[in-house]
Amino acid sequence: MLKGYLKVRDACPVCGEALHHHRADDGPAYLTILFVGHLMAPVMHWSYVTFRPEPLVLFTIIAVGCVSLSLFLLPRLKGAMVAFQWAKRMHGFGGTT
């Protein structure tokens, strides 16, 4: 469904379903921030309480974890949002707008 990192194809290469009218907009970014924040905050708390690392070390590890997790989740959540719109026949996917 995706061409490149975040670009949605105009049509599905397998079935020909038109995908150009999806309206994902900023939804995947908000969901990514929500998921990464809720996953990394307990990790940060646990690692600080258990190991008491230096602040710069903790920042570096958490920053790398947040960026990596964000880059991993963003295209998957965008695909999920477009798939949700298709399943609910939203924004032109059902034949009527």
Tens digit of each residue's pLDDT (9 = 90 or more) over 44-66: 999 999 999 999 999 999 999 99
pLDDT at position 43 is 95
Distance of CA 91 to the CA centre of its chain: 20
CA torsion sign, 7 to 74 to 83 to 13? positive
Q: What is the mean pLDDT of the chain?
A: 92
Residues in the chain: 97
How many Å apart are CA 64 and CA 90, to the nearest integer?
36
This prediction has a pTM of 0.87
- Torsion angle of alpha carbons 63, 65, 70, 73, nearest 10°? -170
Q: Residue 95: which pLDDT band, with cuts at 50, 70 and 90? A: low
Q: Residue 97: which pLDDT band, with cuts at 50, 70 and 90? A: very low
| Secondary structure class of 20 (helix, strand, coil) | coil
